[in-house]
Amino acid sequence: MKFSNFLFTASMDPSKDDQVIEEALREAQLCDELGMDMLWLAEHHFDGICAYVDPVTFAAALAASTQRIHIGFAVAQMSLHHPIRMAEQMALIDNISKGRLVVGLGRGTAYNVYDYQGYGIDPKEAYERLIEAEDIMIKAWTTENYEHHGKYWNLKLPQLRPRPYTKPHPAIVRACSGEEAMLGMAREGRPFLMNIQSNEVTQHRMDLYRKTMRESGHDEATVARNVDNTWVWRNIFVGETDAEAERIALPAWETQQAFREQMRKKVYAEQGLMLKHEPVTPARNQQQHSILCGSPDTVSEAIAEIDKIGVGGLILVFRLGPMPYEVAANSIRLFMSKVAPRFRREIAVKL
């Protein structure tokens, strides 16, 4: 199993944005030094729940300031990006990082209507824009004298420069918040990113993913490769003891959840707009499903249960809400020294 740090770093006070962004860079460099496999970056706007806001710019900074760790998006909101500009930026970061980039794409947030409002995009267009943009990017990377005439873009370019470092193009993975989107990736024989789910739902979706790939005609090597490059998300905190971990992490997790809801509630109160009504509390808001918390032994036992399911890697958020940097850094050190070695094998991150 591969391990990664999801740098979903919040800044709850606008006056401290610069400090939090600097600490996110330090956290990434620490993970690189300790031998973690991946860094994942988020994209959210206008609310501080993702301090660095723009994963493209931040990925370039990480590519220049780390040595071996892979860098991916979980995800870039493609409805907010021009596909040719994005293709150029990805090709540049792919060159800077010498092929360490994983281009994780999604339709855009399913929760924050103000992300779309700030960019003047109708959220109802988000999925169609994602599909069209992804196709444009792949063809721009691989085709000369490329022309595209679609619903949202009409384009003509002689050749995209710089050429990608990775041939034929940087690795691409799609986020799938629902089962139907995951089945689409299975039919195409592609890996995917799964949001926070219970272990039971994770097991069901991974079993269905494998089954659907086989039924779609993909051979066992393709199934194994895609499973190895499929990642699932959890929050995490490792302390010296269970009591210490719970004392530190659980209040921080609760504050994080409340902070992420705050702006949605404000916009709903002011405008009566909300993207998604959830009659059932989702797994991401349930402590028992959302966070792996405890001593190295306790966390290892929890990860072993996920490992039995058969996934490629874990997307782990170490710094929870208002948690100080040094506290999160100590959790990372404990994880890499006392938990990760129990699951390690010599592998390369590839899609």
Binned at pLDDT 50, 70 and 90, residue 224 comes out as very high
Domains, the chain = 2-342 (3.20.20.30)
Is 70 exceeded by the pLDDT of residue 334?
yes
* 123, HSE (Cβ side, Cα atoms, 13 Å): 15
The per-residue pLDDT for 347 is: 42
The per-residue pLDDT for 55 is: 98
The per-residue pLDDT for 206 is: 98
The per-residue pLDDT for 36 is: 98
* pTM tops 0.85: yes
Is 70 exceeded by the pLDDT of residue 350?
no
Is 60 exceeded by the pLDDT of residue 346?
no
Summarize pLDDT for 55-78 with one digit per residue, the tens.
Answer: 999 999 999 999 999 999 999 999
Q: How far is the C-alpha of 45 from the C-alpha of 47, rounded, in Å?
A: 6
User: Which contiguous run of DSSP H or E holds residue 318?
Assistant: none
User: Which contiguous run of DSSP H or E holds residue 246?
Assistant: helix 242-271
Q: How far is the C-alpha of 18 from the C-alpha of 24, rounded, in Å?
A: 10
The per-residue pLDDT for 106 is: 97
